Amino acid sequence: MAYRSQDQSDIVLILLAFAIHPEFRAEDLPAHSEYNLPDGYQPTRAMVSQLVVSCAHDFHLSPESSIPAKLGEIPSALGKRRRKVYRAQLNTDSDNVAPRVVQAWPSPDPLRLVSINSNAYNRTRLHSNIQGLFQSCSRNIQLREHLTRVQAILHDLSAGPQALPAMSPRYKFDPVLSIQFRMPPSVPLDELIFTRSPPPVRPHYQLPHFISAEMTSSSSGFHELQRLIMTIQGNSKDLFQHQYASDLVTSARHFCNEVSGAPASQVIIEEPVAEAIELFAWCYSCLNSSVLEGCFVLPWVVTMRSSTKS
């Protein structure tokens, strides 16, 4: 029972009426757990016809599926004729059953006076569905009668001498309860998410120092890198180490080609060469100790290339 009054005092008075007036004590809700209000208060022909059609046997189980063929009738024409007769029989049966079932309302056994071919319909399921429709309509009627009685009591109380005054001194209603609550400020979602300043970035490492210098094709760092690769090639003992050394040579060759073709004003980094040497030395020690046996090595090569170019 909902009241859409914008005045909160109206709701309070209704609740007080339920609490203090004895007329409401005899008005309990019907003992039903659910109501299907679209079923209405009385079965209709359309509802019953739909139930009849839904409980019909499939075409291949119906008597119409065994209609004999006429002389000279081809199979496709026979199938169309059988299905046409099947649909026509469904319409005829539903038109005959629906009015009788509606007239039987509110009988507890509406199909008792209705004859229907059990070979063409699931009579048990049809009987159950129609009984369910009858019971649903009955529950809706009980709910409507209950609400009508309650509404009548409310109207009588609002018009009679025993009605509650608009603001009874005994039940004073104050929307804020005489207390000034401190409400948190209202923040729109867009302002909370999209317009706030990002948190400060706290790097966990020191950024490399960039300098602008003339690119040279030869340096001590490149020579040390080449010597390290040659050392790894000379000490390779198995297929994995040979493949790793080959990947290093390919990566170094590509890197040297990129450096030689770079413009003279390109920004370079001072530190990555030393870091690359330390990385290769560490990889080499791991290879000798067979710690990385079976691992795929190309990501290390790509790491070296990306770190030296960044």
Per-residue b or e along 248-269, where b marks 16 or more CB atoms closer than 10 Å to that residue's CB: beebbeebeeebeeeeeeeebe
Name, in order, each residue with C-beta under 8 angstroms of 270's C-beta and a sequence gap of 6 or more.
208, 209, 211
C-alpha separations of 266 from 211, 219, 274, 308 in Å: 9, 16, 19, 14
pLDDT at 66: 92
φ, ψ for residue 269, nearest 5 deg:
-120, 140
This prediction's pTM? 0.47
User: CA 32, CA 293: separation in Å to the nearest integer?
Assistant: 73
Show the 3-state SS of 2-66: CCCCCCHHHHHHHHHHHHHCHHHHHCCCCCCCCCCHHHCCCCCHHHHHHHHHHCECCHHHCHHHH
pLDDT at 286: 66
User: CA 280, CA 304: separation in Å to the nearest integer?
Assistant: 9
DSSP summary character for residue 121: B
In tens digits, what is the pLDDT along the chain, a chain of 310 residues? 445 566 666 677 777 777 888 888 778 888 888 888 889 999 999 999 999 999 999 999 999 999 999 999 999 999 999 999 999 999 999 999 999 999 988 887 777 767 888 889 999 999 899 999 999 999 999 988 888 888 888 777 776 555 554 544 444 545 554 445 444 444 454 454 445 555 565 555 454 544 444 444 455 566 777 777 788 778 877 777 778 778 878 887 777 776 555 554 444 555 666 777 777 777 777 666 654 444 444 444 444 444 444 4
